[in-house]
C-alpha cells in the first residue's frame, strides 16, 4: 500500500467518524433537520400572512375608492343607521 492510499484511507475513516459524531450529537445533524423543519414552518406562516395582507390591501383600496364599501364598513363597525331606519337587536336566549 502506498503512502497516498494510506493517507486516503485515514482521511476516509476520519470523515466517517465525524459523520457519525454529527449524527449522534444533538447539536449536529438532528439539529439541522429540526431547524430545516422550523424554516419550512415559518415559510408557510409567511405565505399565510402574505395572503391575509393581500386581502387587507384589497379592503383598504375598496374603502378608499368605493363609497358603498365605506358605508358598509361604517355601518358594521360603528353601528351607524340612516335616518328613518329601524334597528332590531335580537338576543339569543
Question: What residues contact 17, with CB distance under 8 A and at least 6 apart?
Answer: none
Residue ranges covered by each domain of the chain: 3-78
DSSP summary character for residue 4 = H
Q: Which pTM does this prediction carry?
A: 0.55
Q: What is the pLDDT along the chain (93 residues), one digit of tens a residue?
A: 688 888 888 888 888 877 777 666 666 677 888 899 999 999 999 999 999 999 999 999 999 999 999 988 888 888 888 888 888 888 887
Within 10 Å of residue 87's Cβ, how many Cβ atoms?
6
Q: What is the pLDDT of residue 61?
A: 95
Amino acid at each position: 500500500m502506498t503512502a497516498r492510499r494510506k493517507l486516503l484511507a485515514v482521511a476516509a475513516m476520519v470523515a466517517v467518524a465525524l459523520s457519525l459524531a454529527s449524527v449522534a450529537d444533538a447539536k449536529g445533524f438532528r439539529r439541522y433537520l429540526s431547524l430545516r423543519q422550523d424554516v419550512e414552518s415559518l415559510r408557510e406562516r409567511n405565505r399565510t400572512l402574505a395572503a391575509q395582507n393581500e386581502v387587507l390591501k384589497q379592503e383598504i383600496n375598496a374603502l378608499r375608492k368605493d363609497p358603498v364599501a365605506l358605508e358598509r364598513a361604517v355601518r358594521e363597525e360603528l353601528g351607524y343607521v340612516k335616518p328613518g331606519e329601524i334597528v332590531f337587536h335580537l338576543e339569543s336566549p
